[in-house]
Chain A
Amino acid sequence: MTDASLIELRGITKTYGTGDASFQALCGIDLTIRRGDFVAVMGPSGSGKSTLMNLLGCLDTPTSGQYLYQDIAVEQLDADQRSLLRRQELGFIFQGFNLLARTSALENVELPMIYRGIPRAERHHLAAQALASVGLPNKLRNTPAELSGGQQQRVAIARAIVTSPSTLFADEPTGNLDSKTTVEIMELLTRLNVDRGITVILVTHEDDVATYARRIIHVRDGLIASDETKPS
């Protein structure tokens, strides 16, 4: 492992179910992702890219293989330890935004800091700062229902980055957005990657979204089919 590598997968497999009904979603993945990279994971539905994403995001455990995140053997952690790892190191944004309904943008962004036990005043300050950095300085009091799709995704991004994670996982972040908003969101993610050095791992099936990434990985039938890095 090189100094710059953040994530290292070795021989990762994932099998759902047992016996005849079992289904192997991942069939031995080896993958290294360097700190500060911008990776797009692509593939048709059923290819295993969502399973790979859940494993990378420490939401799930592999059936076999080894997963090192910053030298932490993730496959040996229990659910609570993985929760703590996610709390400290990872940020998530989703296709459906997944904001708490009837809850203001500010309170949504404060949520991960409540679990971190950050005091109220600081929490408030950091959340407002994060919302300003995603271009929503005037929407602190608005609830998701009062925001457009693009604005909701910006709130979700603010929530994901407010704890300064080392990696940001984006699962089809533009799937519910129009092309203009898609560009805005992708530019925002690129800026976070470049300016803050946050590693971004993106799942998408849209080619023009994937072009924002520096490295594109294609997954097919539970295996990595191609892995291209743009020449910088």
Chain B
Amino acid sequence: MLGNAFLIALREIRRNLMRAFLTVLGVIIGVAAVVTMVTLGQGTTMAVKSQISNLGSNLVMLRPGMGFGPRASSAGVPNFTLRDVDALRDQVYGIAAIAPVKSSSLSTIYRQKARSTSVTGTTPEYFTINNWKLAEGRFFDENDFRDGTAVCVIGDTAKQELFGSENPIGRLIRIGAPSSSSSSTSSSKSSSSSSSSSSSSSSSTSSDTVYSSTVQVIGVLAAKGQIGMGNQDDTIIMPLTALQRRLTGRTSSRDVSQIAISAKEGSNSDRLVSDITTLMRARRNLDRNKDNDFNVFDTRQIAETLSASTQMMTTLLAAVAGVSLLVGGIGIMNIMLVSVTERTREIGIRLAIGARAREVLLQFLVEAVTLSCIGGLVGIAVAFGLCVGIAQLIQVPFVFDLKINVIAFLFSAAVGIAFGYAPARRAAALDPIDALRHE
């Protein structure tokens, strides 16, 4: 009986293709909208996650400063020391790797080319913590760090800008005083205060006395790409000891501007952050009633927050698109009701030649469901095209999610049943004599 109903429904749809197309247009648009929204939303979530994991594996950043966000201030707040790093490594459970970071914006010169680049002094662990991969050459190692060897590893952008197509490995670059354009304001500010307090320093220019030195390039980092805050690849990384001895000088022991920590896999994020906070408060002699003068950023938490908000956004958009699917269902009901009236005579013929009420009901129901399923399939195909196109346009990875496609399809079928039932019942309730008389 179902097979018959399906056969009859297909014949009916074929008999009036234009009407069928207009009927399912709403469902096509609804399904396409839902699938596109969810797919692109998931792509965005994934992009955000991968960008954050690009920052480092389970990266926790420790920075001096009061408060968060736009009101954050690092003025007058002491930096960290190497002993802080050792203390954290020894006393806090859940740290896989830890590295001191001292960053300065310095000018770099190779032959005729000069540009200002962020120069970071750190330990070899930094590469693991921040997920850096090598494109060529090698990282510096413990020996380089201990000896303060004048070597550096350069980022992809720095390589492109300074060396172009030339192989940079083994070349010498000159690193020196910050270029006037990038740090004029901060250097004047710090020079005015540096005489009064040795601990005062901004994170970008740690000192007013910068020497210059020749440094050998030993490695090139694989590109990470752009991330919200800036270009990560425009960087030069060298041993902290070399940076201190040859470039910035060692004005104070408090010259570690950041501490990068890699949390152990599976460790409790909240616990780790609170342990670090407790230890640092003790080491910085903060009274109980004083606020923290440093911030602990856990990228896992940031990643969770960000992906939660993109997921929320996705859900919201999908809900809006779902409403359009519902409207599409109402469109089906509308056309099916018109169709029942228009085909009253046909229903009369069917009843006269021996169709039972339930067969007429099934015919119209199957017709509605078939239409909505076809609409669902076409919608999924349209969504696929849209996703491929838009994902490319807005630079988001296209992730085909079978689940949402199946759900959207089943939903379209459900819409067909829900909105096809009322017209089908009306058709089945017709009296054969009245239906045959209908003009």
| Contacts from A to B (Cβ < 8 Å) | 54, 57, 59-60, 79-80, 83-84, 86-88, 90-92, 94, 98-100, 102-103, 107, 111-112, 114-117, 159-160
Contacts and interface: CB of A to CB of B under 8 A. Distances in A.
A59 B11 contact: no
B349 A84 contact: no
Nearest to B16: A102
B11 A112 contact: no
Contacts of A159: 353
A14 to B, nearest CB: 12
B15 interface: yes
Contacts, number: 62
A83 B355 contact: yes
Contact of B357 (A79, A99, A103): A79
B340 to A, nearest CB: 15
Nearest to A120: B7
Contacts of A160: 353
B354 A115 contact: yes
Interface in B328-385: 345-346, 348-359
A115 B349 contact: no
B436 interface: yes
A159 B359 CA distance: 19
Contact of A54 (B8, B15, B357, B433): B433
Interface residues of B, number: 24
B355 A60 contact: no
Contacts of B15: 102-103
A92 B433 CA distance: 12
Contact of B354 (A54, A88, A99, A102): A88
Contacts of B348: 98
Contacts of B359: 115
Given A100-B346, A115-B4, A87 B353 contact: yes
B239 interface: no
Interface of B: 1, 4, 7-8, 11, 15-16, 345-346, 348-359, 432-433, 436
A111 B433 contact: no
A92 B357 contact: no
Contacts of A100: 346, 349
A111 B350 contact: yes
A116 B356 CA distance: 11
A105 to B, nearest CB: 14
Contact of B433 (A59, A84, A86): A59
Contacts of B353: 86-87, 91-92, 111-112, 115, 159-160
Contacts of A116: 354
A86 B345 contact: no
A211 to B, nearest CB: 27
Contact of A59 (B8, B356, B432): B432
Nearest to B15: A102
B263 to A, nearest CB: 67
Residue of B11, B354, B356, B357 with most partner-chain A CB within 10 A: B354
A103 B433 contact: no
Nearest to B352: A92
Contacts of A94: 436
A80 B432 CA distance: 12
16 contacts: A59-B432, A60-B433, A80-B356, A80-B358, A83-B355, A86-B353, A87-B353, A87-B354, A90-B354, A94-B436, A98-B345, A99-B349, A103-B11, A103-B15, A114-B7, A115-B359
B16 to A, nearest CB: 7
